[in-house]
Structure formats: C-alpha cells, structure tokens
Structure 1
Amino acid sequence: MLVEHGSTRCVKANAVPVGKDNHAHVEVTREIARRFNHLYGETFPVPELITSDVSSLVGTDGQAKASKSLGNVIYLSDSAEEVRKKVSAMYTDPNRVRADIPGSDEGNPVFVYHDAFNDNPAEVAELNERYRAGTVGDVEVKDALAAALNRFLEPIRERRASFEAQPGLVDQIIVDGTERTRREVQQAVSEVRKAMGLAGAYNQLRRKAKRAQKKAAGQP
C-alpha cells in the first residue's frame, strides 16, 4: 500500500484495510515490523488494521457468503437491468408465501442488502416494519432495493465509462504506478540495508561484481 510518509510517498503502510479472514496475514507483517524495529531501530511502521463493522455479505441465494465462484453476487460492473434481475431472484423468507403473512427480516438477504446499501434509512425502517406486519409484498421490497443499489452503483458506472472512453489510460496508470512503486521499494530496501549495517558491504560486493564483469568482457 502506498501511504504518505514525510514529504514523499513510500511502500510503508501505516494502515491496511482488510477483511476479517485476512487479519492473520497482516498480523504476521506487524510482528515482522516490530521484530525488525526492535533489532535494528525504527525502520518500518507497524500497520493498523482497518476493518468495516459490517460483516461479510450473505449471497443473493441466502446459502453462503457472497462469492464470485458461487455466482451469488451483484457486480460493480452490472447494468441497472442486471441488478434488477438479480434482486428479483433474491432469496427471502421461505415461510412467507403471501404478502399478507408476517415475515422475518432477520438474516433475510434482501434486508441485509438494504441495511448495507440503501441510502434512505427511513425507507428501510418502514419496509422492515411493514414486512414484519405482513403489509408489504416481496416485489415492493425488492424494487426498493434494486433502486437503492442502482443509486449506489451509478457513479461507479459513470467513472468506469469515462475510463473506457480513454484508450490506453488504464494501461498508463498501471505503468506509472509500477514505476513509482519500484523506486519506492528500492528506497525502502536501501533503508533496510543501512539499518542492518549492510550498506557498505553491499556496495563493496556490487563494485567487485562490476569489476569481474568488465574483466570477463575484456574491458580495462
């Protein structure tokens, strides 16, 4: 991750946004940073974990967490119509066979997605109340969710379209970012060698290797 460090950007993350299932990986990094700093002086920041309070989304089929491999997800690239189709097929309370039967919103994927993405809390609260009372049908609840999801996705679609309209832009961003990261990695490695007292030894080895290469090539 690239973060601000002093007056430059560098590959030394102070914070890492990560899902709960990847906490252990970041903790290994934190332990390495703490150990290195203890042995050689403050060199690496110990990154903090940034985790959303929202747990993993349930899949649209209600059977497992949302997963691309299971195909029970709504993609950021989905069109408005694709979103509506997926929402209309979403799993709901299986015991609710008619709109006038009180339903359960607990663990109900439609309401889980409403809570996560609907920017109108008052609408969500009203739908929850009416659903539990049996005064609203699944179609109305799902139509409201599709509308909320499309409001959420529309700015993303617009930005995606702007990128697609500029051929080569994404490739150039990747190239520029890679080159910048390489420079920052080199700087970080240099700081590590210096902290460990290896900078001088490395420079000597590098000069020795260059002399050997010249000699092998017959150069003076």
Structure 2
Amino acid sequence: MSHQVPTPIMLTGDRPTGPLHLGHYIGSLKNRVAMQSLQGERYIMIADTQAFTDNMGNIDKVTQAIPELIADYIGVGIDPGKTTIFLQSAVPELVELTMLYMNVTTVSRLERNPTVRDEIKHRQFERDIPAGFLCYPVAQAADITGLKATVVPVGGDQLPMIEIAVETVRRINRLAGKDVLPEPQAMLSSVQRLAGIDGKAKASKSLNNAIFLSDDEKTVSAKVMQMFTDPNHLKVTDPGQVEGNIVFEYLDAFHTDKEEVEALKAHYRAGGLGDVKIKRLLISTLNDLIQPIKEKRDQAFASKGMLFDMLRDGSAKARAAVGQTLNEVKDGLGLFRL
C-alpha cells in the first residue's frame, strides 16, 4: 500500500525595515522564485509584527517599507498568482499561537539562540531587551507552523530559528499525543552569507553596506568601485590574493560563467590583472541582474492600490489557514473552546 506524499508548503518572509538587497536575493529570494515552478503552496510573510520588536519608536519606518517590500517581490519575479503574500499583523491568530508556544519554550533556550545573541549585541540592548524581541523566535515558530510549512528557505544565520520551530512542533505533538503539526525543514541557498561591500560584516540594511535591488546603475557602479580588494595588490603586475577579496566573492555569487571567474582568479593570483578590470566586470554583472528587477519593481510601486489589494487577498487566505491550525492545536491539547 503506497502512502501519499503530502504537498509541500513553503513559508518565508522579510521584516519591512527597508529595501531588499543582493544578500536577500542570493540568500532566499532566488529560491522562492525557483520554487514557483514546483507543486505545493507558497507563502511569503511581511513580518511587520516582528519588525515592531525593535522599532516601536519608529513605526513609520515599518509601515512605509511595506509597499516597497511588495514591489521588490514583484521585481524579482514573485508571482502573486503562484505565491501568497500576506501581512503578519493581519493574521491575529498567529499571536494566540505564539502565546501557547511560549508555555513550552524556556527563557534560557531563547537566550542560548546564537542569532538572537548576536542581534542583541548588535543593537546594544544588554539586559534592556524588549520581551517581544527575545521571544520573536517563538513567534517565528508560530508563523511556520501556523501555515503547516514544511519548507522554509533561509540564510544560514536563521538555522537556529528553524531548530526552535522543530522543538516546538515536537513538544506540541508530544503533549497532544499525535502529530498535529509537521516538522519544517530549512532550504539553504548556495550562498548562505553575502559579505557587505565594506568586507567587515554580512550585507545588511541597518549597516548600510549593501547593494539594493532598487539601486540604479550609477549607484551600483559607485558601490562596487569602493569595494576593498587585496591591500597588498598595489600594482597590476603584483600577485593578488583571491581569498577574502570581496569583488571575487560577489563574482562567485552572481557571475553566470563560473569558468571565466576561475580563470580570472588564476590570472589575479599570478599577477597582471588589475582591480579596476575585475570591478568593471562585477559592475556589468550586477547591473545585468539588478536593472530589470528595478524596472519591474518601480512599475509595481507606482500602483500601490494594486499592491494593497494583493496583500489583503493574501492575508485573508493566510488567516483562514492559520485559524484552522490554531483550532487543531487547541483540540489536540484539550483546550476548552466555545
């Protein structure tokens, strides 16, 4: 007797705190677009509730970024006919699910989360951590499980979040005595962490060290030209180091001809290849990728009414699905329901 394989459900999302950049594209967006050709349900969540955990003093920053984010999605090729885009705050059932999950998650477990620890340090919270910020991995578990997502495209730094979601699923299923929720799996991109143009940290909106999907050709060119290469590569004839060279890291990630990149690396190591030449190649490579995206996202952004209609429809669909999951979790745990 054959068992029917369940249809995969994908969930991913972004915080609306600014425009998306190449790190988002290579880390997750590219996978999301590719998955549209496969069977299954696809959801993308605009995580405004999560963004409030460290932006309550700047609500406008979050709300104004929402249409920009949807336009970025359209620009990279997300098709709202194939992928449901929804707003986290428009699905209040997620909050109730989060509250239930908080009762099976300890504070010490949240404090051990390396991603949260790094972000607390980056934001200099020390012990003045907003409770919502500390607990946002629990909310992410609710987001993932509320839609019964089985596939979650993420960057490598988000793996600890998936671990907490899996732990939550196992605890709920154990308490219920049956499999109420499926375990999610992370889908990692080939480039899990894209360095910023300063070479000091990963590309980030907050650090302003990224090339954005909304950057025009001149901006892309200026950002590439300021990238550091090998500080000891002073003359064209000098042998250069490829490892740690941000220009080559970006060529590895975005240039389609891998053999050409390897040949350039060999030439650079031997000497005789200038930094300006490889930067010009990177500029043309990135503009070939970004400018068609920018054109589509600018067209979409000009029709904000259409974007918001799309978001309302997607949020209604997501809310219905999460509401059903919430009731199943309540029934599984034996909670009283009127």
Which of 289, 292, 317 matches 1:180? 317
The two structures, once aligned, show a CA RMSD in angstroms of: 2.1
Give secondary structure in 2 for the equivalent of 1:95. Answer: coil
For structure 2, which runs of at least 5 residues remain unmatched after alignment? 1-10, 13-39, 43-83, 85-145
Identity percentage of aligned residues: 41
**What is the distance in 2 between the residues matched to 1:72 and 1:4?**
34
Which of 281, 286, 308 matches 1:144? 281
How many residue pairs get matched?
198
Q: CA deviation at 1:195?
A: 2.2
**What is the distance in 2 between the residues matched to 1:84 and 1:129?**
24
Q: Kindly indicate whether structure 1 or structure 2 has the higher relative contact order, using CA contacts under 8 Å at least 6 residues apart.
A: 2
Residues 1-220 of structure 1 correspond to what in structure 2 (within 5 A)? 1=11, 4=41, 11-40=147-176, 41-198=178-335, 201-203=336-338
Q: CA deviation at 1:161?
A: 2.5
Q: CA deviation at 1:34?
A: 1.2
Structure showing greater radius of gyration is 1
TM-score for the superposition, normalised by structure 1 = 0.82
Which letter maps to 2:316? E
Could you tell which deviates more after superposition, 28-37 or 10-19? Answer: 10-19
Q: CA deviation at 1:53?
A: 3.6
Q: CA deviation at 1:61?
A: 1.6
For structure 1, which runs of at least 5 residues remain unmatched after alignment? 204-220
**What is the distance in 2 between the residues matched to 1:71 and 1:194?**
47
After superposition, the C-alpha distances for 1:105-158 in whole angstroms (9 at most, x for unaligned) are: 111000000000111213212221221121221111000001111122133223
* Runs of at least 4 residues off by over 6 Å: none
